[in-house]
């Protein structure tokens, strides 16, 4: 469970949602104005396929910003993951326009048209405890993050193909198909966005037993802690990495 925030603590949130966005230019201006008025800092990415955000600020201001954002039906399903820091981990507030909220360079992979099946943190922990899934298949944990992120920490025994960027992931899957055959493959990443695209891609090329870890590592930490995880989770801000209780060293 996340640690209790002190009075001075800064709230940090990360969230993403695959949802069609056709008015990115206008939306960018709106979000810049709202975020700066709330004295928030961080980054929001807007792409035709959806939104990805990392923000920090005063708890009431940040939660108010997110509540306003979710009044837009396109973003109503946003499920932010919260953590805390003693100081503001971002230097400025940016809203950027991108072609993809996480670049894969495979335009046929469209999560907005349907997600891959997911496994909850509690179910995954049970599977890892017992050594197999509920159908008796071996469970393979597949880290979809870049190699330097994996170096901070990962699930015990997870597959790491040491990719340098996510665009290399599709070819890595093709090169290692035999390692994944006849197993239940659980793709995971920091907050869910990469492992969601990864799971869809693997299912589309014929791997039948592929799941994504719901909400990624940060959701796993929040719901069940650090069981079966070695080390810390790298995050893209000045905190650098989070422990399983979502605190920093």
Indicate if the pLDDT at residue 2 is higher than 60.
Answer: no
Q: Which two tokens mark 44?
A: 């929001």
Q: Which two tokens mark 49?
A: 């396929």
DSSP for 6-51, written as a single string: PTTPEEEEEEEEE---S-HHHHHHHHHHHHHHTT-EEEEEEETTEE
Write the secondary structure of 48-105 as one string of H (helix), E (strand) and C (coil): CCEEEEEEEECHHHHHHHHHHHHCCHHHCCCCCEEEEECCCCCCCEEEEECCCCCCCC
- Band (pLDDT 50/70/90 cuts) for residue 3 is very low
Residues across the chain: 249
Residue 159 DSSP one-character state: B
Mean pLDDT of the chain: 94
Q: Where in the chain is the domain with CATH 3.30.70.100?
A: 10-97
Q: Give residue 107's pLDDT.
A: 87
Q: Give residue 114's pLDDT.
A: 84
Helix (H) or strand (E) holding 220: helix 216-224
DSSP-derived pairing of the beta strands 210-213 and 184-188? parallel
- Class of domain 111-242 (CATH, top level): alpha beta
Name which of 22, 120, 5 is nearest 62 in CA terms. 5
Residue found by looking up tokens 């060293």 in the block? 249
Indicate if the pLDDT at residue 6 is higher than 60.
Answer: no
What is the phi/psi pair of residue 210, to 5°?
-120, 130
Indicate if the pLDDT at residue 7 is higher than 80.
Answer: no
- Give the CATH fold of the 10-97 domain: Alpha-Beta Plaits (3.30.70)
Indicate if the pLDDT at residue 8 is higher than 80.
Answer: no
Q: Where in the chain is the domain with CATH 3.40.250.10?
A: 111-242
Q: State how far the Cα of 57 lies from the Cα of 77, in Å rounded to an integer.
A: 22
Q: State how far the Cα of 94 lies from the Cα of 55, in Å rounded to an integer.
A: 10
Contact 8, 86 (CB under 8 A): yes
* Cβ count near 3 (within 10 Å): 12
Taking residues 221-247, report their average pLDDT.
96
Interval 27-40: pLDDT, tens? 999 999 999 999 99
Active-site residues, by number, are: 189
pTM surpassing 0.85?
yes
Residue found by looking up tokens 């709106």 in the block? 30
Name which of 116, 118, 97 is nearest 49 in CA terms. 97
Interval 107-146: pLDDT, tens? 889 898 888 899 999 999 999 999 999 999 999 999 999 9
């Amino acid at each position: 469970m996340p640690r209790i925030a002190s009075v001075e603590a800064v709230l940090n949130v990360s969230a993403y949602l695959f949802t069609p966005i056709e008015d990115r230019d206008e939306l960018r201006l709106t979000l810049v104005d709202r975020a700066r008025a709330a004295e928030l800092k961080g980054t929001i990415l807007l792409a035709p396929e959806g939104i990805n955000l990392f923000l920090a600020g005063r708890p009431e201001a940040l939660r108010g910003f997110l509540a306003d954002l979710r009044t837009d039906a396109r973003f109503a399903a946003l499920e932010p993951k919260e953590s805390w820091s003693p100081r503001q981990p971002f230097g400025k507030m940016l809203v950027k326009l991108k072609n993809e909220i996480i670049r894969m360079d495979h335009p046929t992979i469209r999560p907005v048209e349907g997600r891959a099946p997911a496994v909850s943190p509690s179910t995954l922990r049970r599977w890892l405890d017992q050594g197999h899934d509920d159908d008796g298949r071996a469970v393979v944990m597949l880290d979809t993050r870049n190699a330097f992120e994996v170096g901070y920490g990962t699930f015990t025994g997870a597959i790491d193909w040491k990719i340098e960027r996510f665009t290399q992931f599709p070819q890595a899957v093709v090169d290692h198909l035999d390692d994944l055959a006849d197993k239940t493959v659980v793709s995971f990443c920091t907050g869910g966005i990469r492992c969601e695209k990864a799971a869809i891609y693997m299912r589309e090329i014929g791997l039948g037993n592929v799941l994504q870890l719901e909400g990624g590592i940060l959701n796993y930490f929040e719901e069940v802690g650090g069981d079966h995880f070695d080390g810390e989770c790298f995050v893209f801000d000045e905190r650098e990495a989070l422990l399983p209780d979502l605190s920093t060293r």
